[in-house]
Structure 1
Amino acid sequence: MERIGFFLLLITTGLRSTKWHRLNSTCIQINDTRINRYKAIESCQEKGAGLYTFKNRAEILAFNPFLQTRNWLQVSAKKTVSGFKWSDGRNCCPANWWQTDHPKVGKDCVVLYQKNNDVRLYSVACTSEYPVLCSRSYDPTWRLVKYDEYSWLDLCGVAIMPNCDGRSCEEVCASHPDCNQFAKLSNLCINIKNDAPTDKCVVRMRPTVQLYERKFYCE
Protein backbone atom coordinates (compact mmCIF):
# COMPACT_ATOMS: atom_id res chain seq x y z
CA MET A 1 0.00 0.00 0.00
CA GLU A 2 2.86 2.40 0.83
CA ARG A 3 4.49 1.76 -2.53
CA ILE A 4 1.22 2.46 -4.38
CA GLY A 5 0.66 5.62 -2.36
CA PHE A 6 4.07 6.92 -3.33
CA PHE A 7 3.27 6.32 -6.99
CA LEU A 8 0.06 8.30 -6.66
CA LEU A 9 1.89 11.12 -4.92
CA LEU A 10 4.33 11.39 -7.80
CA ILE A 11 1.53 11.27 -10.32
CA THR A 12 -0.60 13.95 -8.68
CA THR A 13 2.36 16.28 -8.21
CA GLY A 14 3.41 15.83 -11.84
CA LEU A 15 6.26 13.93 -13.45
CA ARG A 16 8.36 16.07 -15.76
CA SER A 17 10.46 14.60 -18.54
CA THR A 18 13.64 16.22 -17.22
CA LYS A 19 13.20 15.57 -13.49
CA TRP A 20 14.10 12.45 -11.54
CA HIS A 21 11.88 11.25 -8.70
CA ARG A 22 12.60 8.77 -5.94
CA LEU A 23 10.55 5.56 -5.71
CA ASN A 24 11.84 3.49 -2.77
CA SER A 25 15.34 2.45 -3.92
CA THR A 26 14.77 3.56 -7.50
CA CYS A 27 14.95 6.86 -9.36
CA ILE A 28 12.41 7.23 -12.16
CA GLN A 29 12.01 9.71 -14.99
CA ILE A 30 9.26 10.18 -17.57
CA ASN A 31 10.26 11.27 -21.07
CA ASP A 32 7.19 12.49 -22.97
CA THR A 33 9.03 12.54 -26.30
CA ARG A 34 7.69 9.69 -28.44
CA ILE A 35 10.56 7.50 -29.63
CA ASN A 36 11.00 3.83 -30.56
CA ARG A 37 12.38 1.20 -28.21
CA TYR A 38 15.91 1.32 -29.56
CA LYS A 39 16.17 5.08 -29.09
CA ALA A 40 14.41 4.75 -25.72
CA ILE A 41 17.05 2.33 -24.44
CA GLU A 42 19.81 4.60 -25.72
CA SER A 43 18.18 7.64 -24.12
CA CYS A 44 17.90 5.91 -20.74
CA GLN A 45 21.46 4.55 -20.93
CA GLU A 46 22.82 8.05 -21.53
CA LYS A 47 21.40 8.89 -18.10
CA GLY A 48 22.84 5.77 -16.47
CA ALA A 49 19.39 4.18 -16.47
CA GLY A 50 17.24 1.60 -18.24
CA LEU A 51 13.59 1.12 -19.17
CA TYR A 52 11.39 0.55 -16.11
CA THR A 53 10.66 -2.99 -14.96
CA PHE A 54 7.46 -3.65 -13.00
CA LYS A 55 7.49 -6.07 -10.08
CA ASN A 56 3.75 -6.67 -9.65
CA ARG A 57 0.28 -5.81 -10.92
CA ALA A 58 -0.27 -3.25 -8.15
CA GLU A 59 2.54 -1.10 -9.53
CA ILE A 60 0.92 -1.14 -12.95
CA LEU A 61 -2.51 -0.18 -11.62
CA ALA A 62 -0.97 2.70 -9.68
CA PHE A 63 -0.13 4.38 -12.98
CA ASN A 64 -3.83 4.66 -13.90
CA PRO A 65 -4.25 8.39 -13.05
CA PHE A 66 -1.03 9.24 -14.84
CA LEU A 67 -1.97 7.35 -17.98
CA GLN A 68 -5.28 9.16 -18.28
CA THR A 69 -3.35 12.13 -19.66
CA ARG A 70 -0.61 10.26 -21.55
CA ASN A 71 -2.37 6.96 -22.42
CA TRP A 72 0.79 5.08 -23.40
CA LEU A 73 4.00 4.34 -21.54
CA GLN A 74 6.95 2.29 -22.81
CA VAL A 75 8.43 -0.34 -20.42
CA SER A 76 11.31 -2.83 -20.48
CA ALA A 77 9.54 -6.10 -21.31
CA LYS A 78 10.40 -7.68 -24.67
CA LYS A 79 9.79 -11.00 -26.40
CA THR A 80 12.68 -13.50 -26.35
CA VAL A 81 13.04 -17.06 -27.61
CA SER A 82 11.58 -18.25 -24.30
CA GLY A 83 8.72 -15.73 -24.10
CA PHE A 84 8.30 -12.17 -22.89
CA LYS A 85 10.81 -11.11 -20.25
CA TRP A 86 11.67 -7.98 -18.30
CA SER A 87 15.14 -6.52 -18.69
CA ASP A 88 16.19 -8.12 -15.37
CA GLY A 89 15.44 -11.58 -16.80
CA ARG A 90 12.14 -12.25 -15.02
CA ASN A 91 9.24 -13.68 -16.99
CA CYS A 92 6.58 -11.25 -18.20
CA CYS A 93 3.72 -11.46 -17.67
CA PRO A 94 0.67 -13.18 -16.12
CA ALA A 95 -2.35 -13.36 -18.41
CA ASN A 96 -4.35 -10.86 -16.35
CA TRP A 97 -1.68 -8.19 -16.97
CA TRP A 98 -2.34 -8.26 -20.72
CA GLN A 99 -5.11 -6.66 -22.72
CA THR A 100 -7.48 -9.17 -24.32
CA ASP A 101 -5.98 -10.69 -27.49
CA HIS A 102 -2.47 -9.61 -26.46
CA PRO A 103 0.37 -10.31 -26.91
CA LYS A 104 0.03 -10.41 -30.67
CA VAL A 105 2.20 -12.29 -33.14
CA GLY A 106 5.03 -10.15 -34.51
CA LYS A 107 4.60 -7.50 -31.80
CA ASP A 108 7.68 -8.02 -29.64
CA CYS A 109 7.80 -4.93 -27.38
CA VAL A 110 5.52 -3.83 -24.56
CA VAL A 111 3.73 -0.66 -23.47
CA LEU A 112 1.25 0.23 -20.75
CA TYR A 113 -2.10 1.52 -21.96
CA GLN A 114 -5.00 2.94 -19.98
CA LYS A 115 -8.56 2.34 -21.15
CA ASN A 116 -11.80 2.66 -19.17
CA ASN A 117 -9.83 3.25 -15.95
CA ASP A 118 -7.95 -0.01 -16.32
CA VAL A 119 -4.25 -0.38 -17.14
CA ARG A 120 -3.09 -3.29 -19.28
CA LEU A 121 0.00 -4.38 -21.18
CA TYR A 122 -0.11 -4.22 -24.95
CA SER A 123 2.36 -5.79 -27.34
CA VAL A 124 3.57 -3.40 -30.06
CA ALA A 125 6.15 -3.24 -32.79
CA CYS A 126 9.55 -2.27 -31.42
CA THR A 127 9.80 0.43 -34.09
CA SER A 128 6.62 2.14 -32.80
CA GLU A 129 7.11 5.39 -30.90
CA TYR A 130 5.86 6.00 -27.34
CA PRO A 131 6.75 8.02 -24.23
CA VAL A 132 9.47 6.43 -22.10
CA LEU A 133 9.82 5.53 -18.41
CA CYS A 134 13.48 5.32 -17.34
CA SER A 135 14.68 4.03 -13.98
CA ARG A 136 17.97 3.64 -12.15
CA SER A 137 19.19 2.84 -8.65
CA TYR A 138 20.67 5.50 -6.43
CA ASP A 139 23.18 5.74 -3.62
CA PRO A 140 22.50 7.39 -0.27
CA THR A 141 24.40 10.41 0.98
CA TRP A 142 24.99 11.00 4.69
CA ARG A 143 24.65 14.48 6.14
CA LEU A 144 25.29 15.89 9.59
CA VAL A 145 21.98 17.01 11.09
CA LYS A 146 21.90 20.55 12.44
CA TYR A 147 21.25 20.84 16.14
CA ASP A 148 18.02 22.83 15.77
CA GLU A 149 16.50 20.37 13.29
CA TYR A 150 15.64 17.80 15.96
CA SER A 151 14.20 17.69 19.43
CA TRP A 152 17.16 15.79 20.81
CA LEU A 153 15.57 14.82 24.11
CA ASP A 154 12.75 13.08 22.24
CA LEU A 155 15.17 10.74 20.51
CA CYS A 156 16.91 7.68 21.84
CA GLY A 157 19.20 4.97 20.52
CA VAL A 158 17.54 1.59 20.16
CA ALA A 159 20.47 -0.48 18.93
CA ILE A 160 24.19 -0.17 19.58
CA MET A 161 26.27 -1.08 16.55
CA PRO A 162 30.00 -1.39 17.32
CA ASN A 163 32.46 -0.37 14.61
CA CYS A 164 33.53 -3.88 13.67
CA ASP A 165 36.49 -4.73 11.45
CA GLY A 166 37.44 -1.11 10.99
CA ARG A 167 34.17 -0.18 9.29
CA SER A 168 32.87 3.37 9.53
CA CYS A 169 29.61 4.29 11.21
CA GLU A 170 28.15 4.88 7.76
CA GLU A 171 29.00 1.35 6.66
CA VAL A 172 27.69 -0.19 9.87
CA CYS A 173 24.41 1.70 9.66
CA ALA A 174 24.00 0.91 5.97
CA SER A 175 24.19 -2.80 6.82
CA HIS A 176 21.08 -2.52 9.01
CA PRO A 177 17.81 -2.64 7.02
CA ASP A 178 16.02 0.11 8.93
CA CYS A 179 18.92 2.39 9.82
CA ASN A 180 18.57 5.76 8.12
CA GLN A 181 19.89 7.76 11.06
CA PHE A 182 22.83 7.11 13.33
CA ALA A 183 24.73 8.92 16.06
CA LYS A 184 28.47 8.89 16.72
CA LEU A 185 29.29 8.33 20.37
CA SER A 186 32.93 7.51 21.03
CA ASN A 187 33.64 4.35 19.04
CA LEU A 188 30.00 3.30 18.80
CA CYS A 189 27.30 3.86 16.20
CA ILE A 190 23.80 4.15 17.61
CA ASN A 191 20.82 3.37 15.40
CA ILE A 192 18.28 6.14 16.01
CA LYS A 193 14.50 5.74 16.00
CA ASN A 194 11.66 7.75 17.43
CA ASP A 195 10.87 6.69 20.98
CA ALA A 196 8.00 4.19 21.18
CA PRO A 197 6.65 1.82 23.89
CA THR A 198 8.44 -1.10 22.24
CA ASP A 199 11.79 0.70 22.07
CA LYS A 200 14.49 -0.04 24.60
CA CYS A 201 16.51 3.13 24.98
CA VAL A 202 20.23 2.53 25.04
CA VAL A 203 21.33 6.12 25.53
CA ARG A 204 19.51 9.43 25.82
CA MET A 205 20.75 11.81 23.16
CA ARG A 206 22.66 14.93 24.12
CA PRO A 207 23.77 17.92 22.01
CA THR A 208 27.41 16.81 22.08
CA VAL A 209 26.52 13.66 20.12
CA GLN A 210 26.70 13.94 16.33
CA LEU A 211 23.58 12.75 14.56
CA TYR A 212 23.74 11.79 10.88
CA GLU A 213 20.88 11.19 8.50
CA ARG A 214 20.85 9.26 5.23
CA LYS A 215 19.44 11.35 2.40
CA PHE A 216 18.59 10.02 -1.05
CA TYR A 217 19.09 12.07 -4.18
CA CYS A 218 18.02 11.22 -7.70
CA GLU A 219 19.29 14.29 -9.52
Structure 2
Amino acid sequence: MKRIGLFLLLITIGLCSSNWFRINSTCFQANEAKVDQNTAIQFCQEKGAVLHSIKNETEFEDLLPFLTNSSDFWVWARKSSSGFKWGDGGDYFPKSWWRPGEPDSGEDCARLNNKNGNLLLMGHLCTTKFGVLCSKPVGKWTLVKSTEYYWPDLCGVEIMANCDGLSCEEVCYAHSGCNQFAKISNLCIRINNDSQTTDCIVKMRPDLQLYVWTVC
Protein backbone atom coordinates (compact mmCIF):
# COMPACT_ATOMS: atom_id res chain seq x y z
CA MET A 1 0.00 0.00 0.00
CA LYS A 2 1.30 3.47 -0.82
CA ARG A 3 1.92 5.78 2.08
CA ILE A 4 -0.95 8.03 1.04
CA GLY A 5 -3.30 5.14 1.80
CA LEU A 6 -2.34 5.35 5.46
CA PHE A 7 -3.77 8.85 5.66
CA LEU A 8 -7.45 7.97 5.60
CA LEU A 9 -6.88 5.29 8.22
CA LEU A 10 -5.84 8.06 10.59
CA ILE A 11 -8.89 10.23 10.00
CA THR A 12 -11.92 9.28 12.07
CA ILE A 13 -15.27 9.83 10.40
CA GLY A 14 -17.05 12.62 12.23
CA LEU A 15 -15.54 15.04 14.69
CA CYS A 16 -16.22 13.01 17.86
CA SER A 17 -15.61 9.29 18.10
CA SER A 18 -18.32 6.73 18.77
CA ASN A 19 -20.19 7.03 22.10
CA TRP A 20 -19.14 10.67 22.46
CA PHE A 21 -21.27 13.76 21.81
CA ARG A 22 -20.13 17.16 20.67
CA ILE A 23 -20.88 20.58 22.13
CA ASN A 24 -19.10 23.42 20.34
CA SER A 25 -15.38 22.46 20.20
CA THR A 26 -15.53 19.77 22.89
CA CYS A 27 -16.35 16.06 22.83
CA PHE A 28 -18.12 14.62 25.88
CA GLN A 29 -18.89 11.18 27.20
CA ALA A 30 -21.40 10.66 30.02
CA ASN A 31 -20.79 7.23 31.50
CA GLU A 32 -23.25 6.03 34.13
CA ALA A 33 -20.82 3.53 35.70
CA LYS A 34 -20.81 4.44 39.40
CA VAL A 35 -17.31 5.22 40.73
CA ASP A 36 -15.66 7.55 43.27
CA GLN A 37 -14.09 10.76 42.00
CA ASN A 38 -10.48 9.51 42.00
CA THR A 39 -11.55 6.58 39.85
CA ALA A 40 -13.55 8.94 37.63
CA ILE A 41 -10.41 11.02 36.99
CA GLN A 42 -8.44 7.92 36.06
CA PHE A 43 -11.33 6.58 33.96
CA CYS A 44 -11.27 9.70 31.76
CA GLN A 45 -7.48 9.78 31.51
CA GLU A 46 -7.49 6.23 30.16
CA LYS A 47 -9.72 7.50 27.35
CA GLY A 48 -7.34 10.34 26.50
CA ALA A 49 -9.70 12.79 28.16
CA VAL A 50 -10.19 14.58 31.49
CA LEU A 51 -12.95 14.64 34.07
CA HIS A 52 -14.81 17.74 32.92
CA SER A 53 -14.37 21.21 34.40
CA ILE A 54 -17.25 23.64 33.78
CA LYS A 55 -16.09 26.71 31.86
CA ASN A 56 -19.18 28.92 31.76
CA GLU A 57 -22.85 29.05 32.68
CA THR A 58 -24.12 28.10 29.23
CA GLU A 59 -22.65 24.60 29.67
CA PHE A 60 -25.39 23.68 32.14
CA GLU A 61 -28.04 24.25 29.48
CA ASP A 62 -25.92 22.69 26.71
CA LEU A 63 -25.25 19.51 28.70
CA LEU A 64 -28.80 19.06 29.97
CA PRO A 65 -30.19 17.12 26.95
CA PHE A 66 -27.37 14.58 27.22
CA LEU A 67 -27.58 13.80 30.95
CA THR A 68 -30.39 11.56 32.18
CA ASN A 69 -32.70 12.47 35.05
CA SER A 70 -31.71 9.32 36.94
CA SER A 71 -27.94 9.90 37.15
CA ASP A 72 -25.55 12.36 38.73
CA PHE A 73 -22.12 12.80 37.13
CA TRP A 74 -18.81 13.67 38.68
CA VAL A 75 -17.08 16.80 37.39
CA TRP A 76 -13.52 17.70 38.36
CA ALA A 77 -14.26 20.10 41.20
CA ARG A 78 -12.61 19.75 44.59
CA LYS A 79 -12.47 21.76 47.77
CA SER A 80 -9.15 23.38 48.66
CA SER A 81 -8.04 25.60 51.53
CA SER A 82 -9.25 28.66 49.58
CA GLY A 83 -12.50 27.15 48.31
CA PHE A 84 -13.52 24.91 45.42
CA LYS A 85 -11.24 24.64 42.40
CA TRP A 86 -11.67 23.02 38.99
CA GLY A 87 -9.30 20.37 37.74
CA ASP A 88 -8.04 22.76 35.05
CA GLY A 89 -7.02 25.29 37.73
CA GLY A 90 -10.05 27.58 37.56
CA ASP A 91 -11.76 28.79 40.72
CA TYR A 92 -14.94 30.36 39.33
CA PHE A 93 -17.90 28.96 41.27
CA PRO A 94 -20.73 31.53 41.32
CA LYS A 95 -23.60 30.84 43.68
CA SER A 96 -25.99 30.48 40.73
CA TRP A 97 -24.15 27.30 39.67
CA TRP A 98 -25.06 25.50 42.91
CA ARG A 99 -28.34 24.15 44.19
CA PRO A 100 -29.73 26.16 47.13
CA GLY A 101 -27.81 25.34 50.32
CA GLU A 102 -24.90 23.79 48.42
CA PRO A 103 -22.13 23.00 48.97
CA ASP A 104 -22.25 21.76 52.54
CA SER A 105 -19.19 22.54 54.65
CA GLY A 106 -18.33 18.84 54.97
CA GLU A 107 -18.46 18.11 51.24
CA ASP A 108 -15.16 18.06 49.38
CA CYS A 109 -16.13 17.28 45.75
CA ALA A 110 -18.88 18.29 43.32
CA ARG A 111 -21.07 16.56 40.77
CA LEU A 112 -23.68 17.61 38.24
CA ASN A 113 -27.24 16.97 39.39
CA ASN A 114 -30.29 17.01 37.11
CA LYS A 115 -33.46 17.76 39.04
CA ASN A 116 -36.72 18.45 37.20
CA GLY A 117 -34.85 19.50 34.07
CA ASN A 118 -32.57 21.85 35.96
CA LEU A 119 -28.85 21.00 35.89
CA LEU A 120 -26.72 22.42 38.72
CA LEU A 121 -23.80 21.53 40.97
CA MET A 122 -24.13 19.66 44.25
CA GLY A 123 -21.42 18.92 46.77
CA HIS A 124 -20.64 15.43 48.01
CA LEU A 125 -17.90 13.33 49.58
CA CYS A 126 -15.26 12.38 46.99
CA THR A 127 -15.58 8.72 47.99
CA THR A 128 -19.25 8.55 46.98
CA LYS A 129 -19.97 6.82 43.68
CA PHE A 130 -21.56 8.63 40.74
CA GLY A 131 -21.40 8.61 36.94
CA VAL A 132 -18.50 10.12 35.02
CA LEU A 133 -18.48 13.12 32.64
CA CYS A 134 -15.33 13.07 30.49
CA SER A 135 -14.33 15.74 27.98
CA LYS A 136 -11.63 16.32 25.37
CA PRO A 137 -11.07 18.71 22.46
CA VAL A 138 -12.88 17.84 19.25
CA GLY A 139 -9.67 17.71 17.25
CA LYS A 140 -6.82 19.72 15.84
CA TRP A 141 -5.17 20.69 12.57
CA THR A 142 -1.83 18.96 12.13
CA LEU A 143 0.91 20.04 9.71
CA VAL A 144 2.09 16.90 7.94
CA LYS A 145 5.62 16.25 6.72
CA SER A 146 5.82 15.84 2.96
CA THR A 147 7.85 12.65 3.41
CA GLU A 148 4.78 10.94 4.89
CA TYR A 149 2.80 11.18 1.63
CA TYR A 150 2.98 9.80 -1.86
CA TRP A 151 2.69 13.20 -3.51
CA PRO A 152 1.71 12.12 -7.07
CA ASP A 153 -1.60 10.89 -5.67
CA LEU A 154 -2.48 14.16 -3.90
CA CYS A 155 -5.03 16.14 -5.84
CA GLY A 156 -6.63 19.52 -5.08
CA VAL A 157 -10.33 19.30 -5.88
CA GLU A 158 -11.54 22.70 -4.73
CA ILE A 159 -9.91 26.10 -4.38
CA MET A 160 -11.40 27.89 -1.38
CA ALA A 161 -10.69 31.62 -1.40
CA ASN A 162 -9.41 33.00 1.87
CA CYS A 163 -12.14 35.63 2.10
CA ASP A 164 -12.81 38.27 4.75
CA GLY A 165 -9.57 37.56 6.56
CA LEU A 166 -10.54 33.99 7.47
CA SER A 167 -7.81 31.46 8.01
CA CYS A 168 -7.57 28.35 5.82
CA GLU A 169 -8.61 26.34 8.87
CA GLU A 170 -11.82 28.36 9.19
CA VAL A 171 -12.51 28.19 5.45
CA CYS A 172 -12.03 24.41 5.39
CA TYR A 173 -14.23 23.94 8.45
CA ALA A 174 -17.03 25.78 6.65
CA HIS A 175 -16.88 23.36 3.69
CA SER A 176 -18.70 20.07 4.17
CA GLY A 177 -16.37 17.07 4.27
CA CYS A 178 -13.18 19.13 4.30
CA ASN A 179 -10.68 17.43 6.62
CA GLN A 180 -7.42 18.17 4.78
CA PHE A 181 -6.18 21.20 2.90
CA ALA A 182 -3.04 22.80 1.46
CA LYS A 183 -1.98 26.41 1.80
CA ILE A 184 -0.70 28.21 -1.29
CA SER A 185 -0.37 31.98 -1.48
CA ASN A 186 -3.71 33.47 -0.32
CA LEU A 187 -5.71 30.39 -1.31
CA CYS A 188 -6.79 27.29 0.55
CA ILE A 189 -7.03 24.11 -1.52
CA ARG A 190 -9.20 21.24 -0.36
CA ILE A 191 -7.49 17.92 -0.95
CA ASN A 192 -8.73 14.62 -2.34
CA ASN A 193 -6.19 11.82 -2.24
CA ASP A 194 -7.23 10.36 -5.58
CA SER A 195 -5.27 11.43 -8.66
CA GLN A 196 -7.87 9.83 -10.94
CA THR A 197 -10.73 12.09 -9.90
CA THR A 198 -12.30 14.02 -12.79
CA ASP A 199 -12.60 17.32 -10.94
CA CYS A 200 -8.95 17.70 -9.97
CA ILE A 201 -7.91 21.36 -10.11
CA VAL A 202 -4.24 21.20 -9.24
CA LYS A 203 -1.68 18.53 -8.45
CA MET A 204 -0.15 19.00 -5.04
CA ARG A 205 3.58 19.62 -4.69
CA PRO A 206 5.88 18.80 -1.74
CA ASP A 207 6.63 22.50 -1.13
CA LEU A 208 3.02 23.20 -0.10
CA GLN A 209 1.88 23.21 3.52
CA LEU A 210 -0.44 20.26 3.96
CA TYR A 211 -2.76 20.09 7.00
CA VAL A 212 -5.06 17.32 8.17
CA TRP A 213 -7.83 17.32 10.78
CA THR A 214 -7.22 14.63 13.39
CA VAL A 215 -9.60 13.59 16.13
CA CYS A 216 -8.02 13.73 19.54
Normalising by the smaller structure, the TM-score range is 0.5 to 0.7
- Cα deviation, residue 46, structure 1: 1.8
Match of 1:63 in 2: 63
- Cα deviation, residue 125, structure 1: 0.8
- Cα deviation, residue 31, structure 1: 1.9
Match of 2:38 in 1: 38
Match of 1:4 in 2: none
Match of 1:200 in 2: none
What does the per-residue CA deviation read over 1:171-213, in whole Å, with 9 as the maximum and x for residues that have no partner? x956xxx35475444xx362479xxxxxxxxxxxx81265967
SS at match of 1:113: strand
Question: Residues of 1 paired with 2:189 and 2:91: CA distance?
Answer: 40
Match of 2:163 in 1: 158
Q: Give the conservation status (yes or no) of the 8 Å contact 1:35–1:131.
A: yes
With over 3 angstroms needed to count, the CA separation of the structure-2 counterparts of 1:157 and 1:65, relative to structure 1, is closer
Match of 1:208 in 2: 202
Question: Residues of 1 paired with 2:156 and 2:28: CA distance?
Answer: 30
The total of aligned residue pairs comes to 172
For residue 187 of structure 2, what is the amino acid of its counterpart?
Answer: I
User: Which aligned pairs between 1:1-219 and structure 2 lie closer than 5 A?
Assistant: 19-137=19-137, 138-141=139-142, 147=157, 155-158=160-163, 178=170, 180=172, 182-185=181-184, 188=185, 190-191=187-188, 207-208=201-202, 210=204, 214-218=212-216
- In angstroms, what is the RMSD of aligned CA positions? 3.7
For residue 116 of structure 2, what is the amino acid of its counterpart?
Answer: N
SS at match of 2:74: strand
Question: Residues of 2 paired with 1:98 and 1:184: CA distance?
Answer: 47
For residue 139 of structure 1, what is the amino acid of its counterpart?
Answer: K
- Cα deviation, residue 146, structure 1: 6.5
Q: Give the conservation status (yes or no) of the 8 Å contact 1:184–1:209.
A: no
Question: Residues of 1 paired with 2:104 and 2:71: CA distance?
Answer: 19
Question: Residues of 2 paired with 1:49 and 1:55: CA distance?
Answer: 16
Question: Residues of 1 paired with 2:109 and 2:73: CA distance?
Answer: 12
Between the two structures, name the one with larger relative contact order (CA 8 Å, sep ≥ 6): 2
Higher mean C-alpha displacement, 134-143 vs 46-55: 134-143
